[in-house]
Amino acid sequence: SQTIHQWPATLVQPVGSPLSLECTVEGTSNPNLYWYRQAAGRGLQLLFYSVGIGQISSEVPQNLSASRPQDRQFILSSKKLLLSDSGFYLCAWNEGEEYGYTFGSGTRLTVV
Amino acid sequence: AQRVTQAQTEISVVEKEDVTLDCVYETRDTTYYLFWYKQPPSGELVFLIRRNSFDEQNEISGRYSWNFQKSTSSFNFTITASQVVDSAVYFCALYAGGYQKVTFGTGTKLQVIP
């Protein structure tokens, strides 16, 4: 069966520090991968998605970037965090949008 | 363009009451998919159901049931005999194909009071 792993679960980082969140999927090949952010108001915002290795699409211009160095690995990064980057980050995968998403357990990021 | 509206921001019910969460969607596409997700306090979003636009049959899964009505563009979710473990934020979502991505509603926070 397929599983998705996301870490760390919580992170407190100072403003201006770098960020690296990692997500891996097991049990499937060539999944679509996604990074979502959920700010305090509960809404879900799509940040990045990838349909293959090295293919990244950005939905919202911001202080973040994403990379997909391996088929089942998706990384969210920032060179310098801003206070506004605080939030709950969720990785997700699917085999097509019509199937919905399977989400990871999320990373709660607090920038101080 | 596609849109999902969950007009109920927060709902509180007493345990064992039935509760319906509303979801109204907008799309011009004739083929589309609707979803419900549950986000408990732990944060992880859990997939509950997927429905395509050609299947209007209502679905029941234990205490959960879904009423899909194309005539009113609604996909409502009912929890029968609610329990404290049902306390969560529930998201309705829509995917209408092509280059569009899944659109989520803003969520309904359900609190079940013991």
The predicted pLDDT at position A43 comes to: 86
Contact A98 B101 (CB under 8 A): no
pLDDT confidence of A62, banded at 50, 70, 90?
Answer: confident
Compute the distance between CA of residue B64 and CA of residue B62 in angstroms, rounded to an integer: 5
**Residue to test with chain B: of A45, A95, A97, A107, most B Cβ within 10 A:** A97
Take residue A62 and report the two structure tokens written for it: 């911001």
Among B50, B101, B106, select the one facing A99 at the smallest CB separation.
B50
Who has greater pLDDT, B31 or A61? B31
Mean per-residue pLDDT of chain B: 94
Which domains does chain B possess?
Answer: 3-113 (2.60.40.10)
Query: Which of A33-42, A43-52, A97-106, B72-81 has the weakest average pLDDT?
Result: A33-42
Among A44, A98, A101, select the one facing B47 at the smallest CB separation.
A101
Render pLDDT for B19-70 as a digit per residue (tens, 0 to 9). Answer: 999 999 999 999 999 999 999 998 999 999 999 999 888 888 999 999 999 9
Contact A100 B107 (CB under 8 A): no
Contact B107 A49 (CB under 8 A): no
Contact B47 A100 (CB under 8 A): yes
Among B35, B37, B106, select the one facing A42 at the smallest CB separation.
B106
pLDDT confidence of A10, banded at 50, 70, 90?
Answer: very high
As a whole-number percent, the residues of chain A with pLDDT over 90 amount to: 82
Among B52, B100, B107, select the one facing A42 at the smallest CB separation.
B107
Contact B102 A97 (CB under 8 A): yes
pLDDT confidence of A1, banded at 50, 70, 90?
Answer: confident
The predicted pLDDT at position A61 comes to: 65
Closest residue in chain B to residue A5, using alpha carbons only: B44
- Burial track B29-68 (b if 16+ CB lie within 10 A, e otherwise): eeebbbbbbbbeeebbbebbbbbebeeeeeeeeeebbbbb
Mean pLDDT, residues A76-103 taken together: 93
Number of cross-chain residue pairs from A and B with Cβ atoms under 8 Å apart: 54
Q: Are A17 and A43 in contact (CB under 8 A)?
A: no
Those residues whose C-beta lies under 8 Å from the C-beta of residue A110, and which sit 6 or more positions away, are A10, A11, A12, A13, A86
Mean pLDDT, residues A63-84 taken together: 95
The predicted pLDDT at position B81 comes to: 97
Contact A101 B89 (CB under 8 A): no
Task: Tell me the three-class secondary structure of chain A, residue by residue.
Answer: CCEEEEECCEEEECCCCCEEEEEEEECCCCCEEEEEEECCCCCEEEEEEEEECCEEEECCCCCCEEEEEECCEEEEEECCCCHHHCEEEEEEEECCHHHCCEECCCEEEEEC
Q: Where are the domains of chain A?
A: 3-111
pLDDT confidence of A21, banded at 50, 70, 90?
Answer: very high
Looking at the domain covering A3-111, what would its CATH class be? mainly beta
Which three-class secondary structure state does DSSP give residue B86? helix
Mean pLDDT, residues A92-96 taken together: 93
Render pLDDT for A29-48 as a digit per residue (tens, 0 to 9). Answer: 999 999 999 987 668 999 99
**CA–CA min distance B45, chain A (Å):** 6
